Amino acid sequence: MKFRVIVSLFACVWITFGVLSPCVAAPLAPNIQADAIVTDMAQAFKRGDRKRLTALLPQAKGHPLEPWAAYWELKARLDEASTQEVRAFFQRYPDTYQEDRLRNDWLLQLGQRRDWGVLAEEHPNYRMRDDRELRCYFLTVELMEKGPRANPSIADEVRRNWMAMREADDGCTLAADRLYFNKQFTALDIWRKARLMMEHERPRTARNAVQIVAPEIANAVPDLYNNAEKFLAKNIAAPQKVRQELVVMALVKVASTDPDKADKLMRTKWQPYLTTEERHWMWGVIGRQAAMRLDDDALTYYARVAHDKDLTDDMLGWKVRAALRAGNTPKWPLVESSIIAMNPEARKEPTWIYWHARALLARKKVAPQIQQEANAMLESIAGVRGFYEQLALEELGRKVTAPARPPAPTAEEIEVARRNPSLQRALYAIAMGLRSEGVREWNYATNLVNAEGKVGLMSDRELLAAAQLACDNQVWDRCINTSERTRQTMDFEQRFPMPHKEAVIARAKSINIDPAYVYGLIRQESRFVTDARSGVGASGLMQVMPATAKWTARKIGLTNFMPEQIADRDTNIAIGTGYLKLVLDSFDGSMPLAAGAYNAGPSRSRRWRAPNDGSGPLLEGAIWAENVPFNETRDYVKKVLSNTTNYAALITGQPQSLKAKLGMVGPRDAMAPAENLELP
């Protein structure tokens, strides 16, 4: 496989010192020795071994991945490199991913050094424009030049970037500090950032925010984070002697782990000492945490907020989820008012468009104009591209069908993609085992470089050709991701490929599980990368953990199983589908519950149902999925079910219902024994 890919890629091109030239000799064969040098350099770069990189670089000259080798060597010593040396690299590897990647790294370093002159001079040449910290550095330069006369839109952009970042960030913190100095940020803007970081367990980032507005108390933040309850208890007798902003941060920290305790502290002591906005924020935090625990009290906490404008979009999102889950019939008026209170950008998300339309249609009396408004909302997102798009389609009375396939890329279009230097390097890197580097270069090429190799979006036809190039080389993750980026044209078979079809369908039929469900899960788990391995040790197409593989092998009667067998394709499929079938049967055939269990564990999926006394509500599967507390698992469940619906449309050729696959989710019968699917 490795050799076939490399030979086909370089049949008509040769790269020398980063320059693409026509072939004048036989097709380029893989050079195992040269490949080993580049692989060695990749490992040295990860170790931070500067000497090894410098020693090996001359041997990488002329290799197809020479730009990567040169990038690793210079990046490793960028803190010592001169401006002339950096710019020489740009000239040697123009219009490459590595040129722009190094420019990104260098500009960040210039920002950290406060070298604003060179940063402003070089920033216009930066193509990726996807680094928020770097963007904040550039905006800081503009803020310093124009002061309070700077465009107000800068403040809005910095606020969005800064609030979204979780880690300590010099660039956006610096920009926020400058905006506060210019009186374009208020103290409340800064304190809200600190509160958010306390809730997300980022004390260093919270401290950096406090340093802007109250440097005299910034050093108290780490201790407050580690001992929030002790801080509140120590100051409970004399609240007027302590900064109330610190009280709010301490209460936020308590609420992040125990919303009931934070509620008690608010009601019995601290509420009178806080401003209206601070009280509303605290009830929003407590309500959000309670909603994430699926507590019935969540809406009670939210009800103490008089003005939803004091809540963040995240708090409002969890208020919507709690209202959807509140009994057999959602509290639709609360769903509607909470979505209306969100920022305009948040309201554009398909999630909230769908539930807003549903809330309008659920009114006791739906006037014709309201019906039209709701239908227009649904039409604006209806389609087959995702979970809520499919639900909107069904709400309008239509089912999911596979769209007609567009004309396949022509031989000329495929040839243009094959000649793209970045795509060539990407596929070569992936074939060598440097998947991370290959994926980044591929994404750069398909996001920023058109068929002529110039900065600009690829057209739909160019994207389809690039995707087909990846498909033909069995690089399925790039095939899918590239095809998904088309804007008007959709090739369903590219987006939802079925590698290993005979093995998957035969195994699914043998254990009586829907092959579309298996494909929907594999697509989300590994994008069909057979040697995929997660950071926690899950392996293969179905991303099976070693302990799960061993346990499942015993359950399904797979004798003489050895841990290393999980890398074998057929064994991986057998164990992954076997475990999925066990989970699915345990949840009475509920696809969303089984998907949640596959991702987060059966005990969690069971716990996310209503209480086991049989008195809980019967929920739409979509409402249950939207209320999954873990962001990753919530997204996972929705994508697996959406994938499943599309695969079913392809496999059967018949219209499909996502709602039917979601079903209804109710409390587990307290009298029914549950099979223990937890690992011993």
Strand locations in 580-622, DSSP E? 619-620
Nearest CA to 466 out of 435, 441, 498, 429 is that of 441
Cα–Cα distance for residue pair 486/40, rounded to 1 Å: 37
Cβ within 8 Å of residue 515, ≥6 positions away: 504, 505, 508, 509, 647, 651
End-to-end CA distance of the chain: 39
Cα–Cα distance for residue pair 395/399, rounded to 1 Å: 9
Q: Are 324 and 616 in contact (CB under 8 A)?
A: no
Backbone angle region of 243, left / alpha / beta, with phi > 0 → left and psi within -120 to 50 → alpha: beta
Q: Are 261 and 290 in contact (CB under 8 A)?
A: no
Q: Which residues are catalytic?
A: 525
What per-residue string of b and e applies to 444-455 under the rule 16 or more CB within 10 Å gives b?
A: bbbebbbbeeee
- Dmax over Cα atoms in the chain, in whole Å? 86
419 to each of 111, 353, 415, 469, how far by Cα in Å? 36, 42, 6, 11
Tokens of 459: 């057209």
* DSSP label of 270: I
191 to each of 196, 203, 247, 256, how far by Cα in Å? 9, 13, 12, 17
How many CB atoms neighbour CB 479 within 10 A?
A: 24
